[in-house]
Amino acid sequence: MVLGRDVQYAICALTILSRLEISVNPLIAPFRNSLESLDRVNANTLFQQALSTLTPIQAVEQLVVPALEQIGAAWHKGDLALSQVYMSGRFCESLVENVLPPSDPDRKHQPRSAIVVLSDYHDLGKRIVYSVMRASGFELFDYGRLDVDELVERALADKIRVLMISVLILPSALKVSQVCQRLKDSGMDIKVVVGGAPFLFDSQLWQEVGADAMGGSAAEAVSIVQRWMGDMQ
């Protein structure tokens, strides 16, 4: 029997939830509980505790990301409200902003690049990739959250060569096909790399929507852009 994509997505979400629940990091469970109960003070205390032994990037990747992945999987399972997912993301974005502030997006000798959340309201994944790119010596425009029309218009106006698109839910991932087609129709040579839960759950989805690559992690996204740089000088 062939399962539909939504069913596959749900099964993968449950698998991730089970795997993450046995994480060795003792701070993840209380941090997640603080986020779900909207206890910003305790969430910040736990984050600061993580920072006492980890670098900011490590704290984000080893505490914030696993907790939010668990929350997202629990929502997909039906155990949490969407409002809890949204507010958890907002709390975490504030934490990340404090330790990983933005920088100048127009450094020379690099392909003009941008990163965006497409039609989603959860941009922590985008912020992580943005921060890791900067830590690796890259600078890029942070477009925040845009819909298809706004994104295509801005990417063309800014003469972007590498466009990084982050999504959390499947409907947003499917909209990437519209972006890729319109960029192709424009005649501009713009490479598109995608990332986010739907592309992890379905390893062929990035090809189906017309992207040039998929980054399974922030480190992979950096490697992809580095590989492309030689062809863009």
Average pLDDT of the residues of the chain: 83
Rounded CA-CA distance 140/15 in Å is 34
CATH architecture of 5-99: Orthogonal Bundle (1.10)
CATH 1.10.1240.10 intervals, the chain: 5-99
pLDDT tens for 39-51 read: 999 999 999 999 9
Query: pLDDT category, 153, cuts 50, 70, 90?
Result: very high
pLDDT of residue 109: 61
Handedness of CA 107, 214, 96, 38 (dihedral sign): positive
pTM of the model: 0.63
Please give the single-letter amino acid code of residue 31.
F
pLDDT tens for 156-176 read: 999 999 999 999 889 999 999
Find the range with the poorest average confidence among 2-16, 71-85, 154-168: 2-16
Tokens encoding 232: 């863009």
pLDDT of residue 17: 47
Across residues 65-90, what is the average pLDDT? 79
Q: What is the CATH number of domain 113-229?
A: 3.40.50.280
Q: b/e string for 44-70 if b means 16 or more Cβ within 10 A? A: bebbeebbeeeebbebbbbbbbbbbbb
**CB–CB of 228/111 below 8 Å?**
yes
Across residues 12-29, what is the average pLDDT? 59
pLDDT of residue 102: 60
Better-scored residue on pLDDT, 129 or 14: 129
CATH 3.40.50.280 intervals, the chain: 113-229
